[in-house]
Amino acid sequence: MKSLRLAPLALVLPAAIALMPTRALAFGFGIEGGGTYTQTSGLNASPSNIWTLNGGIIIENNFPIAVLFLDLWADVQTPIQLQATPNMGTGQPSPKYIPIDLGLRLGLDIGLLQPYVGVLGQAAIVTDGSGVLNLNSPLWGLGGDLGLDIAVVFLRFGIELRAVETLTAIESEPSEGSAFEFEALASVRLSF
């Protein structure tokens, strides 16, 4: 009877050990660039959306799991803009935030092409409030990404789409406003 209770464990344990990451496949770093679309709501800003060209640096650590991989990554990008007050379209500058992202990706390690999906958290720190006194900093956000890497020897070329929704209000008093951020990025990373 006791052996029947241990049978499932005997079947699951070798599979779990085989799937556990045993070493880091690669540590990498690189540059990324693209465009960011931000849409604010709840603030009566006009217009409520902005496109921003941006770039940044990214670091990552990649762990193999059979034909899959886990990729723990972080990046810092150049400032993005959010419309925070009414009548921002009259030449007044928009508040700027530096997004700092931390994420985890799960992908297929099938050779040259490596597709992935992931989750990410973001802290957006105010760098220029543009005269808006009651901005929250940092703005905390949660989102996901979808992308494709092309792995060639020690280089990785990537394209990805990210979406992030703020969890904290843009303005502190009164506590109101939220933002949605959509990014299309390309990257080149060195992995070793």
- CATH classification of the domain holding 94: 2.40.160.20
189 contacts: CB under 8 Å, gap ≥ 6: 28, 29, 30, 58, 60, 155, 156, 158
Is 18 a member of any domain?
no
pLDDT: which is higher, 129 or 152: 152
Give 172's pLDDT tier (boundaries 50, 70, 90): confident
Distance, in Å, from the CA atom of 169 to the CA atom of 136, rounded to the nearest integer, reads 7
Is 60 a member of any domain?
yes
Is 15 a member of any domain?
no
Average pLDDT, the chain: 83
Does residue 92 register a pLDDT over 90? Answer: no
Is 20 a member of any domain?
no
pLDDT: which is higher, 192 or 92: 192
Is 106 a member of any domain?
yes
State how many domains the chain has.
1
Distance, in Å, from the CA atom of 61 to the CA atom of 160, rounded to the nearest integer, reads 17
In 87-191, which ranges are continuous DSSP H helix? none
What residues make up the domain containing 117?
25-191
Percent of the chain with pLDDT over 70: 77
Average confidence (pLDDT) over 79-91? 66
Is 140 a member of any domain?
yes
Is 6 a member of any domain?
no
pTM for this prediction: 0.81
The tens digit of pLDDT for each residue in 96-143 reads: 899 999 999 999 998 899 999 999 999 999 888 666 677 878 899 999
The tens digit of pLDDT for each residue in 45-74 reads: 666 788 999 999 999 999 988 899 999 999
Is 2 a member of any domain?
no
